[in-house]
Amino acid sequence: MGRPVRRGWFRRISKDLIRKHYGEEEVNQFAFSNGWFRSFLSWHQISLRAVTNKASKLPSDFSDRILNWMRFNRRNSQPRGEEERELTRSNSGTRVGRYRLQNVCNMDQIPVPYEFIGAHTYDIKGEKTIWMQASQSLGWDKSQGTIKLTIFADGVPRRVKPLIFFRGKGVGQTILTEAQKYDNRVIVKFNPTAYANSENIVSWIEEQLVPVLEVEPTLLALDIFTGHRTDEVLDIFKANDITISVIPGGRTGLIQPLDVSINRPFKDILGVSQLSIL
């Protein structure tokens, strides 16, 4: 098979084949039932297989680095000086030490290919190498955008809108026409790499993050991407009382909230959405 398919693909292809060989009347009588689908897979020895990939190996010191990261968060969550007395007198919502839950957040950038190739596909039982086919004629498998997502510990959604980067300059009549169709719940920007750099990070902090922080101390978990740690970015974090909690390299899949709970189902939804229009 070699394509990121689901039952909808089987249904569509089956109807096309029946139409080709037996005519439209037979198509109308064809019932793509669960029983037929299971029998078809069993008869042809087909099962849903995971795409073969080189597995990532956890470093031997992964637990020590995670513990050090957690100690950093705990140490920096302790009230400082006058803060402790102020927090005792105030009633400003649920807190973790000096931080309100709405000021504990995680931001991550997710590369999203224009042709979304998932982790599973139907293939013959017993095959050791599972291939995934891309649409070579379009070249979409080599193109992608980036989505920047931000979540908060209080669970309130869309406090910061998703930010989408596309490759290019973002000018021209085609882009202006396309912009009319953008959903107002997202922000779309362009740059040469379709990936945020330190300049984009500064804009994101000033335009999107700072306005929702309500001048309160903030703990922001980020991965180790160098664009998060330039002098310009660190200065603006410090000026807005934002403590950055840098997640140790190679551990984001274990402890970064977006990686653990959000990114995978988000990509699955994108994959299903793409398949529904193929």
Q: Are 184 and 210 in contact (CB under 8 A)?
A: no
In a domain, 162, yes or no: yes
- Is 8 part of any domain? no
Of 5 and 208, which is predicted with more confidence? Answer: 208
pLDDT at residue number 96: 85
- Judging by DSSP bridges, how do beta strands 144-152 and 104-113 pair with one another? antiparallel
The pLDDT of residue 139 is 46
On whether residue 2 sits in a domain, the answer given is no
**Alpha-helix runs per DSSP H in 44-102:** 62-76, 82-89
- Confidence (pLDDT) at 167: 84
Lowest mean per-residue pLDDT among 24-38, 110-124, 155-169: 110-124
User: Cα 83 to the chain's mean position, in Å?
Assistant: 36
**N- to C-terminal Cα separation, the chain:** 16
The reply to whether 156 falls in a domain is yes
**Host domain of residue 165:** 61-118+135-277
Phi, psi for residue 53 in degrees, rounded to 5: -150, 160
User: In whole angstroms, what is the distance from residue 114 CA to residue 194 CA?
Assistant: 12
Q: Is residue 24 part of a domain?
A: no
pLDDT value at residue 140: 43
pLDDT score for 55: 46
User: Distance between CA 20 and CA 18 in Å, rounded?
Assistant: 5
pLDDT digits (tens, 9 = 90+) for 229-273: 899 999 999 999 999 999 988 888 888 999 888 887 887 777 665
Pairing state between β 46-50 and 120-124: antiparallel
Residue 253, domain member (yes or no): yes
> Considering the domain boundaries, does residue 42 fall inside one?
no
CA–CA separation, 119 and 4 (whole Å):
8
pLDDT band of 117, cuts 50, 70, 90: low
Whether pTM exceeds 0.85: no
Please report the pLDDT score of residue 137 as a whole number.
44
Percentage of the chain exceeding pLDDT 70: 73
The total domain count for the chain is: 1
Q: 169 φ, ψ to 5°?
A: -100, -15
The pLDDT of residue 170 is above 90:
no
**pLDDT in the model for residue 2:** 41
- 207 band by pLDDT with thresholds 50, 70 and 90: very high
Residue 104: CB atoms within 10 Å: 23
Q: What is the pLDDT of residues 53-89, one digit of tens each?
A: 544 566 667 788 899 999 999 999 988 777 666 665 5
Q: What percent of the chain has pLDDT over 90?
A: 29
Residue 47 covered by a domain: no
